[in-house]
Structure 1
């Protein structure tokens, strides 16, 4: 029987971007999530809807249905003085608290003597996601 909303799905997966392995639990315990609750990437959730227990499938989720297209306007140049005492490295992920107490992450994309460029896009924004999915159990 195909997956329905509010069912608990036990799933193993492998995620590749541009042929590079990003994450996998194929040799580990499956993840569990409630289908339809938004716990996984939206484009993946819609593409596994017709899968059944024991089924394996390769699925490509376009960037727009995953973490969105890359948005240049989500990059900001900040004076390096704002990062005093931090050993900044390109690729470093910084966490900060917004005005309303929400936590957000930014990736350091450039460091000069005067400025730091931070990127608020999700690290996988702008990338199609290639999954290998194994549905272990549907309850």
Structure 2
């Protein structure tokens, strides 16, 4: 099956490097495939758009510009906070810390620098401002079930007694 641009469940194997480097920044090779539903914003847009039209079993190298990956670096996302907010943390420049954002979501920050009064932190994603090169293989592509379309979750169980129609991958 070919990857379509909406409500298609895709499973990929991937390796990603910062463009122009040989260092792998993320990979699932040898592990479980990354599965997601096209059109639900579950992966970076540049990769999602490039997968549309690829077929199951097809491999390719996909260059994703920073703007279509984790965005450009936002200078307003670099903040200075009082050191009291980091009580009990052994601060190290470059370390990654996780906290809770205003909406209750998990936020990741990188410690840029600190002294005995303040800590400079960067809320930008570590790959913000970087072009990325993905080496991907489409392992699977199928139509999403009605439940997957509604919930946005791959492999979600259909409602009791419900049906997802024909040819959508339900068992």
TM-score normalized by structure 2?
0.75
CA shift, 1:99, in A, is 3.6
CA shift, 1:34, in A, is 1.1
Show structure 1 runs of 4+ deviating over 6 A.
none
Cα distance between partner residues in 1 of 2:9 and 2:103: 33
Q: Which residue of 1 aligns with 2:25?
A: 22
Q: Which residue of 1 aligns with 2:10?
A: 9
CA shift, 1:31, in A, is 1.4
CA shift, 1:2, in A, is 2.4
Cα distance between partner residues in 1 of 2:50 and 2:11: 15
Q: Which of 123, 127, 145 lines up with 1:124 in the alignment? A: 127
Unaligned runs of 5+ in 2: 143-171
1:110 lines up with 2:127 in the alignment: no
Against the structure 1 CA distance between its residues 88 and 9, is the aligned structure 2 distance closer, same or farther, given a 3 Å change threshold?
same
Q: Which residue of 1 aligns with 2:45?
A: 42
Against the structure 1 CA distance between its residues 99 and 133, is the aligned structure 2 distance closer, same or farther, given a 3 Å change threshold?
closer
Cα deviation, 1:45-82, whole Å, max 9, x if unaligned, reads 00110110111000010000111001122101112122
Q: Which of 71, 89, 94 lines up with 2:92 in the alignment? A: 89
Looking at secondary structure, tell me which structure has more strand per residue.
Answer: 1
Unaligned runs of 5+ in 1: none
1:135 lines up with 2:138 in the alignment: yes
Cα deviation, 1:10-58, whole Å, max 9, x if unaligned, reads 1100000141211112222211111111111111000110110111000
Let me know the Cα RMSD of the aligned residues. Answer: 1.5
Structure 1 segment 56-71 matched on structure 2, within 5 A = 56-71=59-74
Structure ranking higher on relative contact order (CA contacts 8 Å, 6+ apart) = 1
Against the structure 1 CA distance between its residues 55 and 70, is the aligned structure 2 distance closer, same or farther, given a 3 Å change threshold?
same
Corresponding pairs, count = 139
Against the structure 1 CA distance between its residues 98 and 31, is the aligned structure 2 distance closer, same or farther, given a 3 Å change threshold?
closer
